[in-house]
């Protein structure tokens, strides 16, 4: 009971935190992602509250200025590669995770990993991170030709849906002549190699 009350408070705090840092449009996206994440977590027998908490926090740093991302990453010793230097907003996941730790006292590594990895993916990412990654791409306001199929697949096969989202993102970048973040390529490779084994585990 006490635990449940604590979780409830944390969810409210995370919601208020996101609302205070984001425009109405982005806060709206955040709440839709939270609802989608919670729903998918339930479908896959995961802890829906922890999944929702990660989702409420995922874009909380999205409206930080580029130079501020780099300053915070430097101050907090977050990994910054060439892609992050060129496009500092890639740091919005890692910075949000660090803010969640410092300002809301969240130490749950699975939640922090989900927030950190939601933009590029990460090889070996856990189920909460996968649910958030996919929910971010299929929340109800997302509109692209394959989204309907992806919404269905996400309920059946999380790894397959994440792999499909990554293929789509990579295809999108290729078409625009943009490089894909190495972490996304590695994540897709991991998912493709791991897919068969994982779906066997999930069916148990
Ligand atoms: Fe994001
Ligand atoms: Fe998002």
Is residue 200 scored above 80 in pLDDT? Answer: no
Please tell me the distance between residue 131's alpha carbon and the centre of ligand 2 in angstroms.
12
Q: How confident is the model at residue 168 (pLDDT cuts 50, 70, 90)?
A: very high
| pLDDT > 90: percent of the chain | 91
CA of residue 103 to ligand 2 center, whole Å:
20
pTM listed for this prediction: 0.93
Q: Which pLDDT score is estimated for 202? A: 54
Interval 119-161: pLDDT, tens? 999 999 999 999 999 999 999 999 999 999 999 999 999 999 9
Measuring CA to CA, how many Å separate 13 from each of 7, 20, 105, 116, 155?
10, 10, 11, 19, 28
pLDDT of residue 199: 55
Arithmetic mean of pLDDT over the chain: 94
How far does the centroid of ligand 2 lie from the alpha carbon of residue 63, in Å?
A: 12
Give the pLDDT of residue 62: 98
Average pLDDT over residues 73-99: 97
pLDDT of residue 2: 72
Is a pLDDT exceeding 80 seen at residue 96? yes
Asked if pLDDT for residue 195 goes beyond 90, the answer is no
pLDDT of residue 56: 98
Predicted pLDDT at 88: 98
Cα–ligand 2 centroid distance for 60 (angstroms) = 9
Which ligand has its closest atom nearest to the C-alpha of 95?
Answer: 1
Residue 197 pLDDT > 70: no
Ligand 2 centroid – CA 115 distance (Å): 10
State yes or no: pLDDT of 1 exceeds 80. no
């Amino acid at each position: 009971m006490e635990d449940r009350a604590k979780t409830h408070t944390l969810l409210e705090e995370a919601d208020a935190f996101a609302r205070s840092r984001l425009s109405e449009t982005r806060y709206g996206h955040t709440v839709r992602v939270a609802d989608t994440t919670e729903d998918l977590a339930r479908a896959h027998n995961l802890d829906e509250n922890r999944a929702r908490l990660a989702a409420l926090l995922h874009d909380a740093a999205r409206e930080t200025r580029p130079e501020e991302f780099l300053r915070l990453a430097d101050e907090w010793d977050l990994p910054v590669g060439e892609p992050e230097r060129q496009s500092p907003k890639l740091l919005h996941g890692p910075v949000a995770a660090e803010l969640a730790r410092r300002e809301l006292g969240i130490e749950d590594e699975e939640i922090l990993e989900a927030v950190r990895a939601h933009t590029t993916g990460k090889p070996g990412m856990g189920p909460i991170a996968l649910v958030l990654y996919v929910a971010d791409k299929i929340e109800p306001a997302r509109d692209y030709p394959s989204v309907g199929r992806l919404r269905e697949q996400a309920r059946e096969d999380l790894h397959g849906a994440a792999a499909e989202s990554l293929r789509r993102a990579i295809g999108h970048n290729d078409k625009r002549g943009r490089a894909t973040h190495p972490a996304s390529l590695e994540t897709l490779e991991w998912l493709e190699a791991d897919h068969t084994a994982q779906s066997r585990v999930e069916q148990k």
